[in-house]
Amino acid sequence: MNVGDIAESPEAARGLMRAQIQKAKDEALAEVARLDIIDVKRSGDSRPMSIEKRIAACLSDDLRKAPYKGDKNPLRGHCYVASEAYYHLSGGKRAGLKPMFVTHEGAPHWFIVDSKGRVTDITAKQFATKVPYHLAKGKGFLTGKPSARAAEVIRRVKAAGGVK
């Protein structure tokens, strides 16, 4: 689309503006998520880092599946693997944990709920809007044991001194 097309079509101009606004929102969200992860990795705090932050710090592009590979937002595309790793590192079903699934902002999203209804959502900051947890359904992971990607996250967390 060129400038002449925009001048002749207000609808095209509005569409272009909406696309530019969405791109700016996505870039801002990616930067916030990136800075949160950098803060987790660089923290000089002597207190133990939470398992959620340790998992977030171990996420990388090689763990993502298409179409998320290369996404600027470091949390996008990691909800399944982060939730699965948290589930297994934190005791799974025996600890009263339950994997949950909801569609949000047009994409599938996974997180964990404990027996008291508390939500653990390691990748929630990937979204521009609040996740509607009340609409989620319990849904098991594809395998009983950690998947290859979750096993890699668990390995990284343990190697970093996150858990035993």
* 3-state helix vs strand vs coil in the chain, percent to 5: 50, 10, 40
Q: Is the pLDDT of residue 30 over 60?
A: no
CA-CA distances (angstroms) from residue 58 to 75, 119, 129, 143? 11, 20, 24, 21
Check residue 42 and give its pLDDT.
45
Is residue 55 within 8 A of residue 122, CB to CB? The reply is yes
Query: Residue 44 has which token pair?
Result: 């000089």
What are the residue ranges spanned by the domains of the chain?
3-159
Q: Please spell the DSSP secondary structure of 118-164, one letter per residue.
A: -EE-TTGGGSSS---GGG-EE---SSSSPPHHHHHHHHHHHHTTS--
The pLDDT, as a whole number, for residue 12 is: 76
> Does residue 102 carry a pLDDT above 60?
yes
Q: Specify the pLDDT at position 38.
A: 46
DSSP of 128-141, one letter per residue? SS---GGG-EE---
- Residue scoring higher pLDDT (164 or 78): 78
Cut 0.75: pTM above it: no
